[in-house]
Structure 1
Amino acid sequence: MKKFLYIVTTVVLTLVISLAGFSWYSGTGIRVTDGRYLGYSKSTDEWLFIEYQNKLVKHDGPYVFVDSNKPLALRVASTEQSINSVTKLPVHGELLVTVDNKSQTQFKVPLRHSYPRSKLNYSTTENVLAISDLEGNFDATVNLLVANGVINDSLDWSFGKGHLVLIGDMVDRGTNVVPTLWLLYKLEAEAKKAGGRLHYVLGNHERYLLDGRTKSVAKKYFGTYRATSMTQRQLWSDETVLGRWLRSKPVVLKINDILYVHGGISPEVLSKKPTLEFIDNLAKDSFVTTGTIIKNIEGDILHSSKGLLFYRGLAKDMSHYGLGKKATESHVERLLKVYDAKKIAIGHTLTKHIGFDFNEKVIRVDVNHAEGESEALLIENHSIFRVGLKGQKLPLIQIESSESS
């Protein structure tokens, strides 16, 4: 009887809220916080009561779980004979990754056992290439890196002693989040061996991924969660290799005289004058699996709307959202003085081409990779360029204020 009343109540509640016209509906149902579904899913033609939609998964994984140093690789795949089948097999030192793209690209990844935290301040005379917001787009990642000599056609590091900087949001939206991260994981080790470096600065979507927030994930991942009976949070916990690896990454980095941060540094954060080390200690404790992080923690240096992961004031006026006006020139000058830098490079806020703002003190790096407009920032012999899919060196543009409106 209780089960019957629960079902009836759920259906009535779903229909009532649906009729109210809330924007977070799909079909005649809603998705709850971790992406499970309440109501009728039109796309999969099924009634669901707190369950994930049965989306087709051609390839997903491997999610590698570490149990007493004996890694197990979990994969989800579909064939004509088997839909969303799950395998979990031991990994013996090296991992085979299959990409969910037309060519079903494959590559091998040697596993590592420790992930020390990154240095926060680097000095180099080598080239630096910076990219942001690739969002799980494996092909765009490869095309841009190959075009600019960072990797070769075999997906191996070819940038020598150069530095590759990823300014956050490598995850979400795209259908190849896992292969993209495995590629970056592999390149990090290869770069270090060659005398170079791969730097990964976390963004707000890495926060979402590790916390289990599914608002922006590609729909195929709901099929993975359903097939594995695991939530996103479980698949990216600190019991997984990629979960541990991501949690070792910083949220701000300085190379020579340029700061790299995903969102930006707001006046509210700057007033506290946090050192790079202080910020990194916060990050170390902020991406743990236990507990839930609220999106906008009032005044939080990382997670509030004006924190390093979310702040947009270096790119646009956010006053119509109640999040403050665009930053002033004097604020930018102060923050660069505090961190003894000449420029700050940010992602997070989309622009058509990589360009300058604030008299060339702020560099905007987030472009629309999904639409084939990939660009990266190149620092070479103290000169700064934007480079595209043909490897051409182009001057940075002055970003118009209307582009940030």
Structure 2
Amino acid sequence: MTTLTRALWVVGDVHGELSKLQGLLHGAGLVDEAGFWVGGVNVLVSVGDLVDRGPDGVGVVEYLMRLEHEAAAAGGRVYVLLGNHEPLLIGAYTFGSEWRDVRGRSFLERWRLNRGQTSDLQRLQPRHLEWLRKRPGVVRLGPYLFLHADTDAYLRYGRDLQSVNVALWNTLGSNDPIVLDALVRDLSERGVFMEEGGSSRALTMLATYGGERLVHGHTPISYVLSVEPQLVHSPLLYAEGTCLNVDGGLAYHRSAGFLVRLGKSGIDKIVKPKLDRTVGRPS
């Protein structure tokens, strides 16, 4: 396993909050006032769920697509993981109301129930879909294993990083709605590592894919702690130190959410939203 040699930043579920994402990245010194990458060789990880709930999911997709290229040109990296809302959006776009699950719900209906934004569906283009279908499900950087959901369902798709990611890509490219539905359901599982024996299941994930600590989003920390989202100011370490939840509920309150810099042994820095300033929207 490699060690950390560059600054490593991670942001939880963005859910269409483009302006807040830009503000957090600017506060960390990763982008300039106009929203362009100035982070040099820094590394940024987004744990998925870019769309739905917030006002501009497609804007978040386009922005991270661009930052991916800008960071790479500067010697840095931007990793954007697959969440459960991305395949749900793909299902709504691809199958609409043509197919229904065992509960009689179409992809479009389920997407709307999850606060899918009509403007996102209208603005979605083939280039967005192509990019979304190639998002990795799991990424290991130094001692950290990054994934979206707090579940071990990833083990159903492969026993090493390459295998599981290729399996997810193939599933996202499938023309079979049943296959896509199974993926949405798998990535929608949550709370596995908080259950009895959860730390053991987390350790199995780490033994399979490598790393010393799981870092995930998907389940807002405010839900776990039964507090208001604006009262969550830092990630949640749990399951005997094997798991770190970074979903600060960015889309659930105007002051909620954060960006975290991870070091070799844990959290080095936390950046919170600044409500008195706006970073310019990129062209």
Q: TM-score range by the shorter chain?
A: 0.7 to 0.9
User: Is residue 2:56 matched to residue 1:176?
Assistant: yes
Distance 2:89 2:158 in 1: 28
Shift of 1:294: 5.7
Partner of 2:104: none
How far, CA to CA, are the matches of 1:236 and 1:379 in structure 2?
33
Per-residue deviation, 1:356: 0.3
1:368 corresponds, among 249, 252, 260, to 249
| Structure 1 partner of 2:229 | none
Q: Deviations over 1:125-177 (max 9, x none)?
A: 00110112110011111111111111111111111101100001011111111
Deviations 1:2-43 (A, max 9, x none): xxxxxxxxxxxxxxxxxxxxxxxxxxxxxxxxxxxxxxxxxx
State the aligned residue count. Answer: 243
Secondary structure at 1:153 match in 2: coil
1:312 equivalent in structure 2: 190
1:45-56 aligned within 5 A: none
Instruction: Quickly say closer, same or farther: Cα 1:236–1:188, change in 2 above 3 A.
Output: same
Deviations 1:106-134 (A, max 9, x none): xxxxxxxxxxxxxxx97640011011211
* Amino acid across the alignment from 1:346: H
Change beyond 3 A, Cα 1:123–1:235: farther
CA distance in 2, matches of 1:358, 1:276: 22
Gap regions ≥5 residues in structure 1: 1-120, 226-231, 317-324, 392-405
State the Cα distance separating 1:235 from its structure 2 match: 5.7
Q: Does 1:204 align with 2:84?
A: yes
Give the corresponding residue for 2:169: 284
TM-score (norm 2): 0.76
1:335 pairs with one of 205, 210, 230? 205
Contact 2:220 2:247 in 1 (8 A): yes
Larger radius of gyration: 1
Aligned AA (1:186): R
Percent identity, please.
23
Report the secondary structure of 2:10's partner residue: strand
Map of 1:1-400 to 2, 5 A cutoff? 124-212=4-92, 213=108, 214-215=111-112, 216-219=114-117, 221=118, 224=119, 232=121, 236=124, 240-266=126-152, 270=155, 274-288=159-173, 290-293=175-178, 297=182, 302-304=183-185, 307=186, 309-314=187-192, 316=194, 325-351=195-221, 352=232, 353-370=234-251, 371=253, 372-380=255-263, 382-389=265-272
Contact 1:354 1:376 in 2 (8 A): no
Q: Is the 8 A contact 1:211 1:287 kept in 2?
A: no
Bigger relative contact order (CA 8 A; separation at least 6): 2
Give 1:329 deviation, angstroms: 2.4
Give, as a single letter, the amino acid of the residue that structure 1 aligns with 2:26: V
2:37·2:67 contact (CA, 8 Å) conserved in 1?
A: yes
Give the C-alpha shift of residue 303 in structure 1.
4.2
Where does structure 2 lack aligned partners over 5 or more consecutive residues? 93-107, 222-231, 275-283
User: Secondary structure in 1 aligned to 2:132?
Assistant: helix
Query: Given that residues 11 and 260 in structure 2 are in contact (C-alpha distance below 8 angstroms), is that contact kept between their aligned partners in structure 1?
Result: yes
Partner of 2:177: helix, strand, or coil? coil
Equivalent AA in structure 1 for residue 172 of structure 2:
F
What amino acid does structure 2 have at the position aligned with 1:256?
A: G
Cα 1:390/1:287, change in 2 over 3 Å: closer
CA distance in structure 1 between the partners assigned to 2:2 and 2:91 by the alignment: 30
The aligned residue for residue 82 of structure 1 is none
- Structure number with the higher helix fraction is 2
AA of the residue aligned to 2:250: H
- Partners of 2:3 and 2:264 within 8 A in 1: no
Q: CA RMSD in A?
A: 2.7
Give the superposition deviation at 1:331. Answer: 2.1
Partner secondary structure for residue 385 of structure 1:
strand
Q: Decide which structure has greater strand share.
A: 1
Closer, same or farther: CA 210–326 of 1 in aligned 2, 3 Å: farther
